[in-house]
């Protein structure tokens, strides 16, 4: 079982899962700005990786609750036009969706119980990422304890194969695995063409640059000076 948002990290994670197992994939849309586009990426990545068992569900709660630039249209997505990092030096950015990954993991673990899957892959990444509290190893250690005591057999495990990797290493790994980066979507705010300047686009472009690789998608705004 792999949680596949359609972004570059989860795509590499899905490629890993599909290489080692007969994989099933879950996608949760939650009223985020780029919901439709991410859903298309999920489907096409599954097609390319030949993952047949798919679960696509909508989560109504995260949008209703808001509190994030990704789910509340009145909070702007921060941009970095080359004059400095848009991510705050300390603290958690406004793109943090409160306790989001618990919603996703709950869906994946419930389905894993019914399907009899043993592992839930999630492409959480700590270094070079946005500082979200639910992307840290201690979060997954704690969550695995919940899974162990809160499921029928207690045998399902959440695995985070990318968690300690730098983004450029993830690009390199993905290229080795043949992960379909051309089908992924990372941009937080646009669905027609990636903006190139939101946190997520900036982190992705930097990752491809540092890996010495070409990003197969195109951007609306050229990145003159990625810091």
Q: Which residues bind a copy of itself (CB under 8 A)?
A: 28, 55, 57-62, 64-67, 92, 96-103, 105-107, 109-111, 113-114, 133-134, 136, 138-139, 142-143, 145-152, 154
Nearer to a copy of itself, 199 or 215 (CB): 199
CB 56 within 8 A of CB 40: no
Nearer to a copy of itself, 61 or 220 (CB): 61
The set of residues, in sequence order, having a beta carbon less than 8 Å from that of 190 and lying 6+ positions away, is: 34, 220
Give the H/E segment covering residue 50: none
CB 157, min distance to a copy of itself, A: 14
CB 19, min distance to a copy of itself, A: 25
Rounded alpha-carbon distances, angstroms, from residue 56 to 93, 119, 140, 209: 27, 18, 23, 32
CB 68, min distance to a copy of itself, A: 9
CB 75, min distance to a copy of itself, A: 12
| Straight-line distance from the first to the last Cα atom of the chain, in angstroms, rounded to the nearest whole number | 36
The set of residues, in sequence order, having a beta carbon less than 8 Å from that of 20 and lying 6+ positions away, is: none
Picking from 122, 167, 93, the residue whose alpha carbon sits closest to that of residue 23 is 122
Nearer to a copy of itself, 148 or 193 (CB): 148
CB 191, min distance to a copy of itself, A: 22
> Cβ atoms within 10 A of the Cβ of 166, count?
17
Nearer to a copy of itself, 44 or 151 (CB): 151
Nearer to a copy of itself, 82 or 98 (CB): 98
CB 156, min distance to a copy of itself, A: 9
CB 57 within 8 A of CB 107: yes
Nearer to a copy of itself, 139 or 181 (CB): 139
CB 3 within 8 A of CB 104: yes
């Amino acid at each position: 079982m792999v949680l596949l948002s359609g972004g570059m990290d989860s795509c590499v994670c899905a490629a890993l899962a599909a290489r080692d197992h007969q994989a099933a994939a879950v996608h949760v849309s939650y009223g985020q700005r780029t919901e439709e586009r991410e859903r298309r990426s999920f489907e096409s990545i599954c097609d390319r990786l030949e993952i047949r068992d798919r679960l696509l569900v909508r989560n109504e709660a995260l949008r209703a609750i808001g509190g994030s630039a990704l789910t509340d249209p009145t909070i702007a997505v921060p941009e970095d036009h080359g004059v400095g990092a848009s991510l705050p030096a300390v603290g958690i950015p406004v793109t943090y969706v409160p306790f989001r990954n618990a919603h996703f993991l709950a869906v994946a673990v419930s389905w894993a119980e019914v399907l009899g899957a043993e592992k839930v892959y999630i492409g959480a990444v700590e270094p070079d990422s946005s500082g979200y509290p639910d992307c840290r190893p201690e979060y997954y250690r704690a969550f695995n304890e919940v899974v162990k005591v809160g499921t029928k057999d207690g045998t399902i495990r959440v695995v985070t194969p990318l968690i300690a990797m730098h983004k450029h290493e993830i690009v390199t790994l993905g290229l080795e695995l043949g992960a379909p980066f051309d089908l992924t979507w990372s941009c937080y705010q646009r669905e027609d063409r990636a903006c190139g300047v939101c946190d997520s686009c900036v982190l992705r472009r930097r990752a491809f640059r540092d890996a010495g690789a070409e990003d197969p998608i195109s951007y609306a705004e050229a990145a003159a000076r990625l810091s």
